[in-house]
Amino acid sequence: MKPFFTRRDFLKTTAAAGAGSALLPFVSRGKSIPISSPRYTKGLVVASANGLRAAQKAMKIIQSGSDALDGVIAGVNILEDDPNDMTIGLGGLPNADGVVELDASVMHGPTHRAGAVGALQNIKNPSIVARYVMERTDHVLLVGEGALKFAKMHGFKEENLLTEKARKMWVKWKESLSDQDDYLPPHSIEEKDVGGDWRGVMHTYGTINCLGIDLHGGISGVTTTSGMAYKVPGRVGDSPIIGAGLFVDNEVGAAGSTGRGEANLLNCSSAMVVEYMRQGKSPTEACVMACQRIVDHNKERRLQDNRGRPNFDVKFYALNKNGAYGSASIWSAGAKFVVHDGIKNELHDASSLYKSEE
């Protein structure tokens, strides 16, 4: 199968980062990539396609001299607070019981610390709670009731996150059960017609990932989501799992993801993207390789189309410490990402493995 991806895509998405300056061979105790250009002096923000407002806000904070983590969290808070975004924070689509459960992670490159929350109810900014986990506990991940108790201990106010619009959509889904829920009967990996329609309108995986480099060369990232709509209660996706939905290494770069979280959980994909960059791959190349790994490991027939390709999508976003950036997805539909290079904030085309039939 020929990938829907060309070398020209690499050049396009890495151009702004001084693609002309050749990278030195990989050295440095196997830990870091060499610096091929001066560290970014205007800051850099890369985000998923829904992240234009987030990137604008993050860049403003970064350009004021603040840490990239302050910027990217403030950026995604805009979407967490927005009741009209039905995939993140307030107004996110609920689980199968009609309860909104949020997942988020943050990672701070300069200190190599991270925090995360999974299946958090009633608190609209899981990304801020994730930062509290990082800074005010000895742990990395809190989930469910414990995460809520911890948030309340730090003064977060509980509120009903289920908007009327989301409640009505949930009722509609509930009334059209049951081949569209996420429970599966016993089945073999050869069976095709098992469970729900993963590419259909009933399942959404909206999420925001936002990565940034600050004026001091510090790299940080955040991923926040209400997860898969109508999921099994208690389901935690890739977003709060460090290495799956987000990974940062200040000596290399950062990567994050949106799309079917289960695929990232099975492949530790964001850490993989960073490791490919450590080996000298460009951010775009690294993202494409992570997509390919998911395709190679996707063995269940129910998760394949009639040509054996995934019947779901996963998208990756990455930047390296030299200020190069890139993005790739399995399918071409909606393959875009946001880049704020310190001057312009705009959507860019991402690479993809397969052309969607639109």
Which of 163, 207, 223, 284 is catalytic? The answer is 207
Q: Which is nearer to ligand GLY, 255 or 324 (CB)?
A: 255
> At its nearest, how many Å lie between ligand GLY and the CB of residue 311?
15
Q: HEC states along the chain? A: CCCCCCHHHHHHHHHHHCCCCCCCCCCCCCCCCCCCCCCCCCCEEEEECCCHHHHHHHHHHHHCCCCHHHHHHHHHHHHHCCCCCCCCCCCCCCCCCCCCCEEEEEEECCCCEEEEEEEECCCCCHHHHHHHHHHHCCCCEEEHHHHHHHHHHCCCCCCCCCCHHHHHHHHHHHHCCCCCCCCCCCCCCCCCCCCCCCCCCCCCCCEEEEEEECCCCCEEEEEEECCCCCCCCCCCCCCCCECCCEEEECCCEEEEEEECHHHHHCCCHHHHHHHHHHCCCCHHHHHHHHHHHHHHHCCCHHHECCCCCECCCEEEEEEECCCCEEEEEEECCCCEEEEECCCCEEEEECEEEECCCC
| Residue 109 interacts with ligand GLY (CB under 6 A): yes or no | no
Per-residue binder mask for ligand GLY (CB under 6 A), 255-294, x = binder: ---xxxx---------------------------------
User: Measured from the CB atom, is 51 or 245 closer to ligand GLY?
Assistant: 245
- Of 77, 95, 239, 270, the residue at the interface with ligand GLY (CB under 6 A) is 239
- Rounded to a whole number of angstroms, the minimum distance from the CB of residue 274 to ligand GLY is 17
Q: How far is the CB of 119 from ligand GLY (least distance, A)?
A: 11
Which CB, 207 or 284, lies closer to ligand GLY?
A: 207
Q: Which is nearer to ligand GLY, 270 or 282 (CB)?
A: 270
* Residue with Cβ nearer ligand GLY (43 or 118): 118
Q: Does 240 bind ligand GLY (CB under 6 A)?
A: no
Among 126, 227, 310, 323, binds ligand GLY (CB under 6 A): 227
CB of 87 to ligand GLY, least distance (A): 8
Total residues contacting ligand GLY by CB under 6 A comes to 13
Residues 166-225 that bind ligand GLY (CB under 6 A): 205, 207, 225
Considering the rule CB under 6 A, would residue 238 count as an interface residue with ligand GLY? yes
Q: Is 204 one of the catalytic residues?
A: no
Interface ranges with ligand GLY (CB under 6 A): 205, 207, 225, 227-228, 237-239, 245, 258-261
Active site members = 207
